[in-house]
C-alpha cells in the first residue's frame, strides 16, 4: 500500500476529488495547510505599511491506495490541479506498512 | 425661555441618536483594524466610554460645559443631574440638546482608544477616560461650544472672546482626540515588535462597516450641529457629503501612486479623514470650500500616517494622523474658505475678502486645543501608569489581551476550541442527579 500526499491550490480541490472518484479510491483526507515553495509569499500593504506574507494557504490531500493504482492517482491529481503557473503544488508517495480499520479490526488492503 | 419648536426638537433628538451610533461604529472601525486576539478589548474601550462618559455627562458634565461661565473657562453646576424638563434653549428642550452633546463627549473619549490598541488594561483605561472627560474634555468643550446667550448668558472664551469658528467640533473633538491620543501613545509606549512585526487588520469588512456607520452618524454630528432643521443644516449636510466624497477619491489616487494599489482600508480611512476635516467647517463653507477641504484632508492625513514610523510612536490606529491632522487641516482651511454667505453667524475667510484675521484666530484655537489636550492627557496617563499601572504585561500582550482582560475570545477558530466540560455555574445547575443517570 502507498500513501499519496498532494499539496495543491485550494481551488483545485473539487476537480481533484472528481478525478479520484473515477478511480478505485475509497477515502480521502483533506486539511488546510500553509507554507511556501518556489512561489514564496506575497506583499500586502495596510495604510502604507507593507507586510510580507510568507506562508500561502494550500490544501493537503492524503489518500492510501494499493500499489497498482498509485500512478493513476498521481496522474489524476496532477491533471486536475495543473495550471502551469508557479505554486501549483507537489505530489509525493510513501510506502505504508499496514492499515487498520478501527471498527472491525481488519488489516491491510481489506481495511482500505 | 421661549416655546418648544417641535420640528427642531424632533431633528435634534434624531441627530442625537445618529451620533450615538457613531460610537458602536467606531468600535467596529477600530475592532477590525486590530489583531483577532484583541478585538474585544478594542471594542470594549468604546462600549465603556458610552457607560462612563454618559453618566458623567448626565450628572454634571453637561452643566460644566453649558452652565453659565466663570471667566469663560468653565460652566457652573446649575444643570447638574439634567432634571430641567421645562427649560427650552432656542426652541429645543435643554434635555434634547444635552443628549445631542452627550454623544459628542462619548465618541471623543472612545476615539482615544485607537492609539493604545492591544495593550491597555481595561479598568485603568476606564479610569483614564473618566478623568480625561472631566479634566480635558469638559473645559475645552466649554471654551468652544458654549456660545454667549445660547444656553447660558456667558459662554466659553475660544468661541466668544477669541471668536474662533468651529461648527461641529474640530477643536473639542478632533484636535482634542488627536493630541490626547499622541500623549497616550507616548506614555504607554509601543507594543513589543512594533513596527517590525506584522500587526495586520484582522477583519477589513468590519472596518468598512464601521466606517459606514461613522459616515452615516456624522450627518447627525455635522448637520445636527445647526440645532435647527433649516438652511444652515442642509448646507452642512451638503458640505459633509462633498468633503468626504472628495477625500475618498484623493486618498485612493495618492495611495495608488505611493503603494501601487487603492486599498479598502485606505478608502475607509479616507472617508473618516474627509469627515474630520469638514467637521469644524461644515456650517461655514460652501460646496467649493468643502471640496478643497476634503481633497486636502485625503492627501495630508494619509501622508501623516507615515510620520509614526519616522518618529517612532505607536499610535496603533492612527488617531493622530486622521483626527489630529485632519482637525488641524479643517480648522486652518476654514480660515481661507469660510464664507458669510452660507451662514449669517459665520465670517469671511481669506479667499472671501476677510483678510488674515480669521486665519490667525483659527491658528490660536488649534494651538490652544492641541497644547491643552496633549499636556493634560500626558499628565493623567502618566499618573495612572505610575500608580495602578496602565499596560498589561508583555507575555499577556503576546498571548492576547481579550483572554486576559475579558476571559473571552471573539471567534471560534476550531471545534477543538470548545471541547471539554464547563465547570461553571451553568453546568453545575444542569447536571442531572446521580440516580437519574
pLDDT at A55: 85
Residue B433: the pLDDT is 45
Q: Is A49 in contact with B195 (Cβ distance < 8 A)?
A: yes
Share of chain B above pLDDT 90, in %: 88
| Torsion of the alpha carbons at B246, B252, B254 and B260, rounded to the nearest 10 | -170
Which chain A residues are within 8 Å of B255, Cβ to Cβ? Answer: 48
pLDDT digits (tens, 9 = 90+) for B166-211: 999 999 999 999 999 999 999 999 999 888 887 899 999 999 999 9
- Tell me whether residues B309 and A47 touch, CB distance under 8 A: no
pLDDT at position A56: 86
In a domain, B424, yes or no: no
DSSP codes joined into one string, B203-221: -HHHHHHHHHHHHHHHHHH
Phi, psi of A33 (to 5 degrees): -130, 165
Tens of pLDDT along B257-305? 999 999 999 999 999 999 999 999 999 999 999 999 999 999 999 999 9
* Distance (Å, whole) CA B355 – CA B336: 9
List CB contacts of B177: < 8 A, sequence separation 6 or more.
B108, B111, B112, B319, B323, B324, B373
Q: How many CA atoms lie within 13 A of B333 on its CB side?
A: 29
- B contacts of A48 (beta carbons < 8 Å): 255, 258-259, 302, 305-306
Look at residues B225, B224, B218 and name the one whose alpha carbon lies nearest to residue B242. Answer: B218
**CA nearest B267 in A: which residue?**
A47
Determine the Cα–Cα distance for residues B169 and B174; give it in Å rounded to an integer. 7
SS3 content of chain A, % helix, strand, coil (to 5): 30, 40, 35
A43 CB neighbours in chain B (<8 A) are none
Contact at CB, A47 and B198, closer than 8 angstroms: no
Of residues B84, B91, B94, the one with CA closest to residue B3: B91
Cα gap A77→A96, rounded to integer Å: 19
Give me the pLDDT at residue B2, please: 65
| Rounded (10°) angle between helices B122-132 and B39-56 | 40
Chain-chain contact of B261 with A48 (C-beta, under 8 angstroms): no
CB contact under 8 A, A48 and B200: no
Among the partner-chain residues A44, A48, A51, the one whose CB lies closest to the CB of B305 is A48
Domain-located, residue B435: no
Q: Which domain holds residue A70?
A: 2-111
Mean pLDDT value of segment B134-159: 96
The 3-state DSSP class for residue B426 equals helix
> DSSP H helical segments within A1-112, as ranges?
13-21, 70-81
Contacts of B285 (CB under 8 A, 6+ apart): B239, B278, B293, B334, B337, B338, B339, B342
d(CA B123, CA B131): 12
CATH number of the domain at A67, please.
3.30.70.120
Number of domains in chain B: 1
Q: For residue B208, which residues of chain A lie inside 8 Å, CB to CB? A: none
Residues of A with CB below 8 A from B302's CB? 47-48
Contacts of A51 in chain B (CB under 8 A): 198, 200
Residue B431 lies in a domain: no
Confidence band of B334 (pLDDT split at 50, 70, 90): very high
What would you report as the CA-atom Rg of chain A, rounded to the nearest whole angstrom? 17
Cβ atoms of B343 and B142 closer than 8 Å: no
Residue B244: strand, helix, or coil: helix
The cell 442625537 sits on which residue? B16
Q: What is the DSSP string of B334-352?
A: HHHH--GGG-TT----GGG
Q: What residue numbers bound the domain in which B381 lies?
A: 6-189+198-398
What pLDDT is recorded for position B423? 55
pLDDT at B435: 45
Instruction: Report the pLDDT value the prediction gives residue B436, as an integer from 0 to 100.
Output: 44
At B304-331, the pLDDT tens digits run 999 999 999 999 999 999 999 999 999 9
CB B295 within 8 A of CB B250: yes
Interface test with B, best of A48, A50, A53 (most B CBs within 10 A): A48
Mean pLDDT of chain A: 90
Tell me how far apart the alpha carbons of residues B316 and B319 are, in angstroms, rounded to a whole number: 8
Single pTM value for the model: 0.88
Closest residue in B to A47 (Cα) is B266
Q: B418 CA to chain A: closest CA distance, Å?
A: 20
DSSP helix/strand/coil, A52: strand
pLDDT for position B195: 87
pLDDT tens string A80-98: 999 998 889 999 999 999 9
For residue B432, what pLDDT is reported? 47
- The neighbour count for residue B299, using CB atoms within 10 Å, is 19
Per-residue confidence (pLDDT) for residue B131, from 0 to 100: 98
Rounded to 5 degrees, what angle do the CA atoms B328, B333, B132 make?
Answer: 25
Asked if the structure places residue B350 within a domain, the reply is yes
Tell me how many residue pairs between chain A and chain B have CB atoms under 8 A apart.
28
Contacts of residue A50 in chain B, CB cutoff 8 Å? 259
Test A45 with B259 for CB contact under 8 angstroms: yes
Q: B264 in a domain, yes or no?
A: yes
Judge whether B1 lies within some domain. no
Chain B residues whose C-beta sits inside 8 Å of any chain A C-beta? 195, 198, 200-201, 255, 258-261, 263, 265-266, 269, 302, 305-306, 309, 318
Q: What is the pLDDT of residues B365-420, one digit of tens each?
A: 999 999 999 999 999 999 999 999 999 998 888 888 998 999 988 997 766 655 55
pLDDT, tens digit, 9 for 90 and up, residues B86-144: 999 999 999 999 999 999 999 999 999 999 999 999 999 999 999 999 999 999 999 99
Q: What is the dihedral of CA B317, B43, B139, B176, to 10 degrees?
A: 10
Query: Do the Cβ atoms of A47 and B266 come within 8 Å?
Result: yes
Average pLDDT over residues A14-25: 88
| Angstrom distances, CA of residue B419 to CA of B37, B42, B227, B309, B402 | 19, 27, 55, 42, 19
The rounded percent of chain A whose pLDDT value lies above 70 is 100
Contact B195/A50, CB-based, under 8 Å? no
Are B318 and A47 an interchain contact pair (Cβ–Cβ within 8 Å)? yes
Q: Would you call A47 and B265 a contact, using CB atoms and an 8 Å cutoff?
A: yes
- Total domains in the fold of chain A: 1
Considering the domain boundaries, does residue B46 fall inside one?
Answer: yes
Is B123 inside a domain boundary?
Answer: yes
Q: Any idea what the CATH number is for the domain that residue B161 is in?
A: 1.10.3430.10
* ipTM, 2 dp: 0.71
> Are A44 and B200 a contacting pair at CB < 8 A?
yes
Amino acid at each position: 500500500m502507498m500513501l499519496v500526499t498532494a499539496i495543491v491550490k485550494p481551488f483545485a480541490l473539487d476537480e481533484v476529488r472528481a478525478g479520484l472518484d473515477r478511480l478505485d479510491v475509497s477515502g480521502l483526507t483533506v486539511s488546510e495547510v500553509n507554507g511556501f515553495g518556489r512561489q514564496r509569499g506575497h506583499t500586502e500593504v495596510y495604510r502604507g505599511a507593507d507586510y510580507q506574507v510568507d506562508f500561502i494557504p494550500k490544501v493537503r490531500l492524503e489518500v492510501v491506495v494499493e500499489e497498482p493504482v498509485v500512478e493513476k492517482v498521481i496522474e489524476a491529481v496532477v491533471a486536475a490541479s495543473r495550471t502551469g503557473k508557479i505554486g501549483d503544488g507537489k505530489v509525493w508517495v510513501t510506502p505504508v506498512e499496514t492499515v487498520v480499520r478501527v471498527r472491525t479490526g481488519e488489516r491491510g488492503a481489506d481495511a482500505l | 425661555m421661549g416655546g418648544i419648536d417641535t420640528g427642531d426638537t424632533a431633528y435634534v433628538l434624531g441627530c442625537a441618536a445618529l451620533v450615538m451610533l457613531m460610537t458602536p461604529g467606531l468600535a467596529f472601525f477600530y475592532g477590525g483594524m486590530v489583531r483577532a486576539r484583541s478585538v474585544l478589548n478594542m471594542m470594549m474601550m468604546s462600549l465603556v466610554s458610552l457607560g462612563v462618559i454618559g453618566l458623567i455627562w448626565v450628572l454634571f458634565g453637561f452643566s460644566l460645559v453649558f452652565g453659565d461661565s466663570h471667566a469663560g473657562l468653565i460652566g457652573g453646576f446649575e444643570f447638574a443631574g439634567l432634571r430641567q424638563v421645562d427649560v427650552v434653549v432656542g426652541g429645543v428642550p435643554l434635555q434634547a440638546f444635552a443628549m445631542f452633546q452627550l454623544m459628542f463627549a462619548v465618541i471623543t473619549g472612545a476615539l482615544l482608544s485607537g492609539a493604545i490598541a492591544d495593550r491597555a488594561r481595561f479598568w485603568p483605561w476606564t479610569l483614564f477616560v473618566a478623568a480625561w472627560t472631566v479634566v480635558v474634555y469638559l473645559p475645552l468643550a466649554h471654551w468652544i461650544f458654549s456660545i454667549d446667550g445660547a444656553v447660558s448668558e456667558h459662554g466659553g472664551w475660544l468661541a466668544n472672546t477669541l471668536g474662533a469658528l468651529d461648527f461641529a467640533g474640530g477643536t473639542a473633538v478632533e484636535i482634542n482626540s488627536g493630541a490626547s491620543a499622541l500623549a497616550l501613545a507616548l506614555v504607554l509606549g509601543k507594543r513589543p515588535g512594533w513596527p517590525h512585526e506584522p500587526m495586520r487588520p484582522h477583519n477589513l469588512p468590519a472596518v468598512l462597516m464601521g466606517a459606514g456607520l461613522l459616515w452615516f452618524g456624522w450627518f447627525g454630528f455635522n448637520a445636527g450641529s445647526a440645532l435647527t432643521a433649516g438652511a444652515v443644516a442642509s448646507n452642512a449636510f451638503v458640505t459633509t457629503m462633498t468633503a468626504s466624497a472628495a477625500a475618498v477619491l484623493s486618498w485612493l489616487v495618492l495611495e495608488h501612486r505611493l503603494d501601487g494599489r487603492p486599498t479598502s482600508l485606505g478608502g475607509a480611512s479616507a472617508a473618516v479623514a474627509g469627515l474630520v476635516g469638514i467637521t469644524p467647517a461644515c456650517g461655514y463653507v460652501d460646496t467649493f470650500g468643502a471640496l478643497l477641504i476634503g481633497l486636502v484632508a485625503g492627501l495630508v492625513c494619509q501622508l501623516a500616517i507615515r510620520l509614526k514610523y519616522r518618529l517612532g510612536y505607536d499610535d496603533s490606529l492612527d488617531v493622530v494622523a486622521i483626527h489630529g491632522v485632519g482637525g488641524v487641516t479643517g480648522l486652518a482651511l476654514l480660515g481661507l474658505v469660510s464664507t458669510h454667505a452660507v451662514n449669517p453667524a459665520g465670517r469671511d475667510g481669506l479667499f472671501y475678502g476677510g483678510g488674515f484675521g480669521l486665519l490667525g484666530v483659527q491658528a490660536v484655537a488649534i494651538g490652544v486645543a492641541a497644547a491643552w489636550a496633549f499636556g493634560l492627557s500626558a499628565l493623567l496617563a502618566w499618573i495612572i501608569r505610575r500608580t495602578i499601572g496602565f499596560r498589561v504585561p508583555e507575555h499577556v500582550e503576546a498571548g492576547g489581551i481579550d483572554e486576559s482582560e475579558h476571559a473571552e475570545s471573539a471567534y471560534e477558530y476550531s471545534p477543538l476550541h470548545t471541547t471539554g466540560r464547563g465547570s461553571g455555574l451553568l453546568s453545575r445547575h444542569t447536571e442531572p442527579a446521580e440516580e437519574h443517570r
